[in-house]
Amino acid sequence: MIKPAHSTIDTAEVEQFSKIAEQWWDEKGNFGPLHRMNPVRLGYIRDAAAVHFSCDIHKNQPFARRTLADIGCGGGLLAEPLTRLGFDVTGVDASEKNIAVATLHARQSGLDIRYLATTAESLAAREERFDVVTALEIIEHVADVELFVASLSQLVKPDGLLFISTLNRTLRSLAIAKIGAEYILRALPRGTHDWRKFLMPHEVEEVAARHGLALKDACGMSYQPVRGTFALTPHDLSVNYLMVFGK
């Protein structure tokens, strides 16, 4: 059991997202890119989990009785559709404002989701375990990557799955995800990302391996400007990418 001696919380990062918490469900607001990315992320998780757990995605709520923890859940953009797929979802976020927004929206949507204003390491210390753990667009915002991944590993049941998505530390990601998105297109608030905290895929794989997690698949995501959507790009992980690990 992990006994957190310190925290993965980066206070400045939490405060930054708390300030715009009321915009989580505004598709034209600061979280618009996540809304456009969400169908791709959801499809990737659904398909990989269906293969792993031998579930028929054409059935109603194919993942009924499966538990899932969404770490860094924000306003619940991923937690809600995952619940509709049948998962028993626990949403976790360090920002109390994010959790308040997520809780209210779930209630208005008639969805039963357990939301907790806490951290991955605190949840792991309580010995909670899940079939699936998701940590999407969060690892680049934490203060201690090693502790964060160790905590995620603790949360995953034996034979469970961990999904991580983040941004690669490349010149292309600096141009597109940082300078382009924040300063030119203004699709994200300035200061949303620190390029120096972006992680290369092999770095994520290495820290995961140290904590008993084996890489099962990695896939890129790229923005399609003409359609205004994201698409999976299996051979291009140079900007955004998803990884799934087994335990």
Mean per-residue pLDDT, 207-224 = 95
Q: Determine the pLDDT at residue 30.
A: 79
Quickly state the pLDDT bin for 90 (edges 50, 70, 90): very high
Quickly state the pLDDT bin for 178 (edges 50, 70, 90): low
Mean pLDDT taken over the chain: 89
- Sorted by sequence, the CB contacts under 8 Å of residue 5 that are 6+ apart come out as none
pLDDT in tens, 92-137: 999 999 999 999 999 999 999 999 999 999 999 999 999 999 999 9
**Per-residue pLDDT for 1 more than 50?**
no
Question: Can you point out the beta strands (E) in the chain?
Answer: 67-71, 88-93, 114-117, 130-136, 156-167, 214-224, 229-233, 240-246
* CATH 3.40.50.150, domain 11-246, yes or no: yes
> Is 185 strand, coil or helix?
coil
% of the chain residues with pLDDT over 90: 73
**Per-residue pLDDT for 5 more than 50?**
no
Token reading at 18: 């708390």
pLDDT in tens, 15-34: 766 677 788 999 988 788 88
Q: Are 69 and 128 in contact (CB under 8 A)?
A: yes
Question: Structure pTM?
Answer: 0.89
The residue ranges of every structural domain in the chain are 11-246
